[in-house]
Amino acid sequence: MNSAVFEPRTLAPGTLRVIPVGGLGEIGRNMTVFEIDGKLLIVDCGVLFPEENQPGVDLILPDFAPVRDRLDDILGIVLTHGHEDHIGAVPYLLRLRQDIPLLGSGLTLALIEAKLKEHRITPYTLEVREGQHEKLGPFALEFIAVNHSIPDALAVAITTSAGVVLHTGDFKMDQLPLDDRITDLRAFARLGEAGVDLFLVDSTNADVPGFTASERAIGPVLETVIAKAPRRVIIASFSSHVHRVQQVLDAAHANGRKVAFMGRSMVRNMTIAADLGYLKVPEGVLVDTKKAADLPDDRIVYMSTGSQGEPMAVLARMANLEHQIEVGRGDTVILASSLIPGNENAVYRVINGLTKLGATVVHKGNAKVHVSGHAAAGELLYCFNIIKPKNVLPVHGEFRHLVANQQLAIDTGVPEENTFIAEDGTVLDLKDGVVEVVGQLDLGYVYVDGSTVGEITDADLKDRRILAEEGFISIFTAIDSQTGRIIVGPEIQSRGFAEDDAVFDDVKPLIVKALTEAAENGTRDTHAFSQVIRRTVGRWVNSQHRRRPMIVPVVIEA
């Protein structure tokens, strides 16, 4: 893979262009743009959650550059399922054009409509089901049932004059799913028989051998853990994991416990799922969190968000004693989710905090309380053998996942030259069964920070990291504009560097000397004086303290 940026050639008529905008080399920001004959189709539009080295960032969006100037050419956005890494960026794209049609299953559209309501956007939607066919301009779409860790997930087959593309979305092949809705391998086989020119396939578990365990294996474990718990049970999961919440409701009911939902997104999503019939709530099992506090400790289960260690989510606030529920000895906390790469430290920090408070913490590492929603290598091999695609583009995964998926395709007989390890912004063209890489766009991260979108840069984040790790030093000096002589200062203050500013007594004479020499050499510009101060203090801090704080000189003329 060559990541050097180069402009794609002009798109020829009757050729399908495919641009993964996000989701390659990362777990999140899933978004792919398809173009043929001047029209665009988008599959998924998700967010990536920030890591510890991105302080202050709330969300990370795909770079909309490939479509920003062509909004009127977008015929629709197909949403494969309702997870945040596939729908979370939709509000930010619809801010640019609100009437872009959204196509998805009932639950997927209900979840995105609730999210868009918070952004004061009323979308134009088209609900679709497995087996349904739709035509959007030059794109003929067929929707296919796939099994995932959220109900109503869909794969989509896109037929154009240039060929057929099959995009799996996120999927696995659970043969005993909780909702009895299995991945439709018959449809995959039928498409394979007719000919799939390009297969975009979920890579998340491509480096995991064998098969992903069934969701049904989790229910008995949850029942056993809850039955043995002496006091309160707190279970953290993704706020969209309807199947897991169903299992918690059933296990709690079987053990004579009530369930209280905690966390705004958990309450919102489960209300939607129950209203639409995806969540079957046993009679009388749900209680409000306020009433839950009055119940005996051995009669309540709290279902919360925060399974990824998110600092503002319920579980992390409990671990930090910042929540109204104070976790203590005898409480049982269950983390019913997998670890998203990059979140490990945050999750273990929460586990350690809860354990220190006396709780028993049950997680995937010590009990079977979660199974992945993504196909492992054995399932992917089945798909490659059933579909026999001409070309394969692994998607949704870090680099190691993409490469592992590529190797699976090669092992099943796909020629290596017909497998493509791409990255965000790689431009691929399909025509007559042949796929070529024809360009590499320079796409970056778009950071959401509070109400600002795209205004925070990587340089800003570097400054924030320096402030957090190295501290801040400001130096104030007033200079005679005629002679360059120092009138006031240098006055030095710091934050996060040293408790006593007296530590700077040694550097003040060095600053005076450097400014005097600069003035004698004819310097009168305040910016030039600032640079002299910055260099002088920087050298001193580095040599004497082995630190690299942020240095902010302020020079005024008097």
- Four-CA torsion 500, 503, 508, 510, nearest 10 degrees: -160
Say if 11 falls within a structural domain: no
Q: Which of 406, 421, 448 is the last residue of a domain?
A: 448
Q: Are residues 437 and 482 in the same domain?
A: no
Q: What residues contact residue 200 under an 8 Å CB cut-off, 6+ apart?
A: 18, 32, 165, 166, 167, 168, 393, 394, 395
Please tell me whether residues 501 and 438 are part of one structural domain.
Answer: no
**pLDDT for position 1:** 43
The confidence score (pLDDT) of residue 66 equals 94
Residues 349 and 422 both lie in one domain? no
- Flag whether 51 is in a domain: yes
3 state DSSP class of 434: strand
**Same domain, residue pair 226 and 204:** no
* Domain finish residue from 311, 329, 362: 362
Cα 22 from Cα 423, distance rounded (Å)? 8
CA dist 225 and 239 (Å) reads 21
The count of domains in the chain is: 3
> What pLDDT shows up at residue 525?
73
Boundary (domain end) residue, out of 383, 417, 448 = 448
In a domain, 436, yes or no: yes
What CA–CA distances, in Å, run from 338 to 364, 367, 506?
7, 12, 53
Residues 236 and 204 in one domain: no
| Chain centre to alpha carbon of residue 19 | 19
Domain that holds residue 536: 458-557
List the one residue out of 367, 370, 362, 415 whose CA is nearest residue 388. 415
Q: Are 376 and 208 in contact (CB under 8 A)?
A: yes
Q: What is the pLDDT of residue 460?
A: 60
Regarding whether 462 and 441 lie in a shared domain, the answer is: no
The answer on 427 and 344 residing in a single domain is: no
User: What burial letters (b/e) apply to 169-190, b meaning 16+ CB within 10 Å?
Assistant: bbbbbbeebbeebbbbbebbee
Residues 416, 525 within the same domain: no
- CA dist 242 to 237, 258, 270, 345, Å? 10, 17, 7, 26
Closest CA to 297 of 226, 236, 244, 238: 226
The answer to the question of residue 453 being in a domain is: no
Predicted TM-score (pTM) of the model is 0.81
Q: Provide the CB-side half-sphere exposure for 32 (13 A, CA).
A: 30
Using CA atoms, how far apart are residues 155 and 152, in angstroms rounded to an integer?
A: 10
Q: Is 67 helix (H, G, I), strand (E, B) or coil?
A: helix
Q: Is residue 28 part of a domain?
A: yes
Task: Give the CATH number of the domain where residue 523 resides.
Answer: 3.10.20.580
Are the C-beta atoms of 375 and 384 separated by less than 8 Å? no
* Other C-beta atoms lying within 10 Å of the C-beta of residue 411: 12
Q: Is residue 481 part of a domain?
A: yes
CB contact at 8 A, 553 and 530: yes
Q: List, for the chain, all residue ranges whose pLDDT scores fall below the cut of 50.
A: 1-2
Beta bridge partners of 550: 472
Considering the domain architecture, whether residues 471 and 325 belong to the same structural domain is answered as: no
pLDDT (0 to 100) of residue 5: 87
CATH of the domain at 138: 3.60.15.10
Claim to verify: residue 268 and residue 308 sit in the same structural domain: yes
- 308 assigned to some structural domain: yes
Output the pLDDT for position 410.
97
* Residues 92 and 189 occupy one common structural domain: yes
List the helix and strand counts (H, then E) for the chain: 16, 25
Question: How many Cα atoms occupy the beta-carbon half-sphere of 437 within 13 Å?
Answer: 21
Does residue 141 lie within any of the structural domains?
Answer: yes
Same domain, 463 and 543: yes
Q: Please give the pLDDT value at position 190.
A: 97
